[in-house]
Structure 1
């Protein structure tokens, strides 16, 4: 088992990498902090991933921001700012899309392989009952479309591939520290356990889907 974890310095990415190593997997990691893997800079994505040799049985994309540093998710339409929205979309949507450009080279063609991209339930249009968080919601909704399209394309050349968006729940990390007070949280280790169990149980006919930490399908 070989796994590539992207965004490995964050709480969930680090926990997934640790759990896989404990299970005996060979794990390669990339992060902005350790490797300069900055998905807001396309040339860095290509440089870092170009130096990685596949194939990998799992590619786990665990990166994203709620809002740029010094900003918070919008509570109203009047709070929308073009520059901050562009930054959120650059990291949460365009960044994973740039990663997925390399997926065909990183995956084996002769066996099952999974690309799992962290999304969020708030990116579900059908589940949105309270509004707000415009940039983050929009970035994750757009990410889901990218993942779905990538699954279709990869399925043509990599018949055993599975490409999915995953909602990890509200995980107790610095990422959610200022926003988790009204939600039940789980530790990063628990989230990693849950997500890896979902990944292990995915079927080929589930590729292109959006699933939560319990393996339940999330509406678009």
Structure 2
């Protein structure tokens, strides 16, 4: 990461997932990165995306300041059930659960950790999103809860980016489409016909390295191409 200062500090949340692990490994191999803290389920304490108090307690144990935060949390399959394909499959509890895990929880992480971002320097908040969260790019329908949650997540990121820019004008906030990578999340839907997580993480770090602060969130894919909101 050449756009961040020498000796930058990185935090990866959701480090037990395929992409989270790949981000940690890639950052540990960067000689310009002084420290990588990996946060996974149960570390540094028990926490849950649906429990605001546990998120606050976990974030309080982290010791910034951070120059790069990668939030790799999220879930497509919840309670053993995958995304809905038809209106008839909608269930209120499942929809709310998806919103909590994929939008509200990540927004609360940003709320808790924004103050730990370094001031007066370039900093990056990177959140894994999904192309299906794009309202304009929705061409196939289906996946109601996941689409809605990722669209809500993107709105949280956009709104937070505007606020963050007032005190941290060099901040970059990015919603990332990693491509379909081989992971527990994607396996039921694409099998092994997916991208290598290590390759995707390397590409996403390169994309983040090239983004300029704009005072707005940026929605981009692993090739650096912008995605319509």
TM-score tier (shorter): over 0.9
Candidates 111, 127, 141, aligned match of 1:131: 141
- Alignment match, 1:214: 223
The Cα of 1:184 is off from its aligned counterpart by 5.3
Q: Is it true that 1:197 corresponds to 2:184 in the alignment?
A: no
- Alignment match, 1:17: 24
Alignment of 1:1-220 (within 5 A): 1-24=8-31, 25=33, 26-34=35-43, 35-181=45-191, 185-205=194-214, 207-220=216-229
The Cα of 1:102 is off from its aligned counterpart by 2.1
The Cα of 1:36 is off from its aligned counterpart by 2.2
**Cα–Cα, structure 1 residues 206 and 120, in superposed 2: closer, same or farther, change >3 Å?**
farther
The Cα of 1:185 is off from its aligned counterpart by 1.6
Quick one: distance in 2 between partners of 1:214 and 1:184?
A: 18
Asked if 2 retains the 8 angstrom alpha-carbon contact of 1:9 and 1:33, the reply is no
Quick one: distance in 1 between partners of 2:177 and 2:193?
A: 14
The Cα of 1:103 is off from its aligned counterpart by 3.3
The Cα of 1:33 is off from its aligned counterpart by 4.5
Which is further off, 205-214 or 43-52? 205-214
Asked if 1 retains the 8 angstrom alpha-carbon contact of 2:161 and 2:216, the reply is yes
Q: List runs of 5+ in structure 2 lacking aligned partners.
A: 1-7
- Alignment match, 2:4: none
The Cα of 1:204 is off from its aligned counterpart by 0.9
Over 4 Å off, 4+ runs: none
Question: Which TM-score applies when normalising by structure 1?
Answer: 0.96
CA offsets, 1:61-90, max 9 Å, x none? 001111312211001000001111111110
For residue 205 of structure 1, give the secondary structure of its aligned residue in structure 2: coil
Quick one: distance in 2 between partners of 1:103 and 1:162?
A: 15
Question: Which TM-score applies when normalising by structure 2?
Answer: 0.92
